Amino acid sequence: MLPVEEVYPQLVTTLHDNPIALLQAPPGAGKSTWLPLQLMRDGHFKRIVMLEPRRLAARNIANYLAQCQNENVGQSIGLRIRQETKVSANTCLEIVTEGMLTRMLQNDPELSDVDLLIFDEFHERSIAADTALAFALESQAALRDDLTILLMSATLDSERYQHFFDCPIIRSSGRSFPIDEAYIPVKDESRWLDAIPAVIKHALDEQAGSALVFLPGQREINRVQQALADLPADCHVFTLFGEQDKSAQQAAIAPAQKGTRKIVLTTNVAETSLTIEGIRIVVDSGKRRVASFNLKTGVTELTTQSISRSSAVQRAGRAGRIEPGIVYRLGSKQTFERRNNHDAPEILSADISQLLLEAKCWGAELSDLSLLDRPTEQQVQQATKLLQMLEALDSNNKLTSLGTQMLGFGADIRLAHMLIKAKQLESKMPGIYTLAAYLVALLESRVNHVADLSLALHSQHARPHPIFKQQLKFWLKRLKLNETRELKTNYLALLVALAFPDRLAKKRGNGYLLANGAGAELNTEYWHNDDYLAIANMGGYKGGRIFSGIVFTPTEIENDLGHLFSEQTRCEFDEKAGRFIHQDEVKLGAITVSSQPSKHRLDKSERAKAWLALFHKQGFELFNEQNDSDQLLTRMCLASRLMPEQFPELTKQDLIDNAQAWLSVYLEDIKTLEQLKKFNYFSALQSCFNWQQQSALNDLLPLRVTVPSGSNVRIEYQLDGPAKLSVRMQEVYGMLSTPLLAQGKLPLLMELLSPARRPLQLTQDLANFWQGSYRDVQKEMKGRYPKHFWPDDPATSIATSKVKSKM
């Protein structure tokens, strides 16, 4: 009996009584196979759609469930994944991947005839799953109060999810079979991969059965496969990863032949919802390949990271699906216990342009959607900028008809933009549409190792790689195109610009400046004499290494990508030359295509902008030292910090960032840098507070204070630490306590001076000083300054600023 069968009656009742529920069940519990099939067979729901994050798992679950029904996929059990759809009018349970579910919701927000949505392996938290769930929750709330949602995983962050969704949770306890754990410490973490083959051989010697080995990617799989060439003849090594063809994947999943053992080297594609018969050994490297988006370059980089404890539990669960098993974990138990509980959700580190466009098409802003985690403002800004470059959003951030077409195209939005535009250009550029299909096949097959895209395409055209050939066949069929004998590669730069407008680049020193403002490293084997490069593939360290591209000139793309170009007047002060630069420029994003002396007269506002740019760079250090202005700045910042209920939030950086609002108008008549440095910013700064706040500032943090002698003495303020009042000792006789600043919130340090204005004492407690260490000061000062007044009881004496003879 599968563990999930024990909670099945409770789960059915919960699903009928609640719009959303959580199911936490361990690997092998039957939640991905037995449960949806039983719900269908019992007729609890008319039509069930189950989302599986990975294509391999989706296809295998659909095949398994169809076999259980003695049917082919496409009858009662359906499948909908990229490049493969098998459904019919008889389909009651449909297995779909993430992008497919989002498309279903966009095309039919009511999800007609679907009454149960299952999100399997929800702990993976892909951005596509988060998107689909957010849309499903809106549909449920506004259109389909009879739609039920079930989230399930072995390792849910259940307390957080239960609180967020305000829903019940059902837990299925226990594994199908027990799993032992073994930890293999590594002496040199940088050489962890070298340790894997020995761990595998050790595990095979100790244990019976077949082994599943988790590695980050294909490169590591290939290295380990080579190192296992000396295994006994009855041990067969298979590989399993997402980019393989179906036959190779099925060979890896199939049971080992009688009398043999199999070792399956896999990525985390086998981490969830996948059963490989005969596996009772798991060797876990503890590593995974993670896509991390670089906001600066706009490039998604693949990095190798340690997995979380929840992912490790998922991997170990593969060993206990059929019989008792064991997991060998690379690294010590202490290292394992220091890992994060859960992997970070993709939405926090990914390119969110697809999500943003989906939300626009859905008719919502990101802030309207029920997202468990929200992207940063920087992510939103970067995605908005890219979508405008791709013509999916207009200058007002409204969805365009082209943006809607791109979403419905069923491809990466960059490639969708290129293909749609290429079709439109075909009449005036014969062959560009076919070339676009070949380029998409090249980019999606990932078989290119040649930096020059033109050479790469000609190479694949002449001797195609099997994966390229498969992708090309798909795209030609889908786009209703035929193979060609001659590729019109003279259009290649335009196609790359259509897909990657942010990666158009101009030579700068030994590298390139991208249209998005980022820098890129030069590949010394290519393009070293070319001014402009359209980059198709980047990555490496900080996403700044160029892997493939094609030379172009701005004129060959300007007619068809005019929205990327803009005419601007640049006015700035050149510090090295000591003069204004006033130029009319043609810009391609951050790239200056051409520049010439401006035909327009330099007006006051432009000059003020140039001075502001200099102020943004240098801050208040730009101005010569001005005690009154500098002290006003410090007092205003202190008032904001100490009394936020009375004064607006204000810091030095705030003032620098918002200088346009308070400083700009005061700079319009300044014509030279020397004038600017001498500028007294007191009045400009004072305008940041209204009259009542200025008055309160002078009361609470006065610039000067009157001491008992009648002198008006200046207070020196600082942002960190007490304010300081430097005054001759004779002038504060009779004073027993220091003045209160900011209602006592800011301490005042009194620096008591000699008649020659040399420091004698620092104190914040005058009364205690008069009664104590004053005696020592008095003895010394009487001999040095006999003409001055040094009373025995300063606490009750009259303060003076004069010598004794004139008192």
226 and 328, same domain (yes or no): yes
Q: Which of 323, 344, 365 is the last residue of a domain?
A: 344
CA 441-447-448 angle, 5° bins: 90
The Cα–Cα gap between 221 and 201 comes to 15
Give residues with Cβ within 8 angstroms of 13, minimum separation 6.
Answer: none
Please report the pLDDT score of residue 174 as a whole number: 60
The confidence score (pLDDT) of residue 374 equals 92
Contact 158, 22 (CB under 8 A): yes
What is the mean pLDDT of each successive set of 10 residues along the chain, which is 807 residues long?
88 95 85 93 94 88 94 94 89 92 92 93 88 94 93 80 91 77 89 93 91 92 92 91 80 86 87 74 91 83 86 83 87 89 86 94 91 92 95 94 92 95 96 97 90 94 92 94 93 97 92 92 77 90 85 93 90 76 89 88 81 90 90 95 93 92 90 88 93 95 94 94 94 91 92 93 92 90 88 91 73
pLDDT of residue 449: 85
Domain at 253, CATH number: 3.40.50.300
Report how far residue 527's alpha carbon sits from residue 522's, in angstroms, rounded to the nearest whole number.
8
Amino acid at 112: S
Shared-domain flag, residues 102 and 22:
yes
Element (H, E) at 179: strand 179-184
Largest separation between any pair of C-alpha atoms in the chain:
119
Please tell me the total number of residues recorded for the chain in this structure.
807
Judge if 250 and 267 occupy the same domain. yes
Residues 715, 676, single domain; the answer is no
Where do the H-state alpha helices sit in 572-626? 604-618
Residue 526 lies in a domain: no
Cα–Cα distance between 364 and 529 in angstroms, integer? Answer: 47
Q: List CB contacts of 667: < 8 A, sequence separation 6 or more.
A: 607, 608, 611, 612, 676, 679
CA dist 358 and 354 (Å) reads: 6
Pair (165, 236) in one structural domain? no
pLDDT of residue 478: 93
Place of tokens 């995983």: 153
Contact present, 608 and 668 (Cβ < 8 Å): yes
User: Can you give the pLDDT at residue 345?
Assistant: 87
Q: Total structural domains in the chain? A: 4
Q: Full-prediction pTM beyond 0.85?
A: no
CB 488 within 8 A of CB 432: yes
Expressed in percent and rounded to 5, the helix, strand and coil fractions of the chain are 45, 20, 35
SS3 (DSSP) at 685: helix
Quick one: 658 and 683 in the same domain? yes
Q: Could you give the angle at the alpha carbon of 694 between the alpha carbons of 693 and 696, nearest 5°?
A: 60
What is the spatial distance between Cα 337 and Cα 309, in angstroms, rounded to a whole number? 7
Is the domain of 194 the same as that of 165?
no
**Amino acid letter for position 486:** E
- pLDDT of res. 405: 95
Domain assignment present for residue 563? The answer is no
Q: What is the DSSP letter of 567?
A: E
What gap in Å lies between CA 361 and CA 505, rounded to an integer? 31
Q: Does residue 734 belong to any structural domain of this protein? A: yes
Is residue 585 in a domain? no
Does 189 share its domain with 300? yes
Instruction: Collapse the DSSP code of 253 into the 3-class scheme (helix H, G, I; strand E, B; otherwise coil) and give the result.
Output: helix
Half-sphere exposure of 470 (CA within 13 A, CB side): 12
Helices 627-642 + 691-700 axis angle, to 10: 90
Report residue 600: phi and psi, to 5°.
-95, 145
Q: Give the C-alpha separation, 445 to 510, whole Å.
A: 31
How far, in Å, CA of 189 to CA of 330, rounded?
10
User: Is 455 in contact with 492 (CB distance < 8 Å)?
Assistant: no
Give me Rg for the CA atoms of the chain. 36
Kindly state whether residues 97 and 219 are assigned to the same domain. no
Does residue 471 belong to any structural domain of this protein?
no
List helix spans (H) across 668-724. 673-678, 682-686, 691-700
- Interatomic CA distance for residues 353 and 387, integer angstroms: 7
Please list, residue by residue across 97-132, b when 16 or more beta carbons sit within 10 angstroms of its beta carbon and e when fewer do. Answer: bbbbbbbbbbeebebeebbbbbbbbbbbbbbbbbbb
Task: Report the candidate in 271, 313, 305, 341 with the shortest Cα–Cα distance to residue 189.
Answer: 305
Question: How far apart (Å, rounded) are the C-alpha atoms in residues 751 and 586?
Answer: 60
Domain boundary residue, one of 137, 171, 205:
171
Q: What is the pLDDT of residue 588?
A: 94
Distance CA 280, CA 239 (A): 17
> Burial code of 684-693, b = ≥16 C-beta within 10 A, e = fewer?
bbeebbeeeb
Neighbour count for residue 31 (Cβ, 10 Å):
27
The residues, ordered by sequence, that sit 6+ positions from 76 with a Cβ below 8 Å of its Cβ are 40, 66, 69, 90, 91, 92, 93
Amino acid letter at 367?
S
Domain-embedded: residue 790: yes
Question: How many H-runs (helices) and E-runs (strands) does the chain carry?
Answer: 30, 29
- The position carrying tokens 């059915």 is 12
pLDDT at 273: 61
288 and 318, same structural domain? yes
Q: Which helix (H) or strand (E) holds 659?
A: helix 659-662
Identity of residue 62: A
Determine, yes or no, domain membership for 728. yes
Q: How far apart are CA 618 and CA 43, in angstroms?
A: 71
With beta carbons less than 8 A apart as the criterion, state whether 185 and 196 touch: no
Please tell me the predicted confidence (pLDDT) of residue 602.
73
Q: Which residue type, as a one-letter code, is found at position 678?
A: K
Where in the sequence is the domain holding 644, given as residue range(s)?
Answer: 617-699
Asked whether the beta carbons of 437 and 472 are under 8 A apart, the reply is yes
Q: What is the dihedral of CA 41, 46, 47, 48, to 10 degrees?
A: -60
Position 353 in a domain = no
Tokens found for residue 708: 């008992």
What angle do helix axes 34-41 and 3-17 make, rounded to 10 degrees? 50
Residue after which a domain boundary falls, among 140, 171, 202: 171
Do 638 and 667 lie in a common domain?
Answer: yes
- Helix 466-479 and helix 432-445: axis angle, to 10°? 140
- Do both 224 and 136 map to the same domain? no
pLDDT at 807: 59
Run of H or E residues at 212: strand 210-214
pLDDT of residue 805: 66
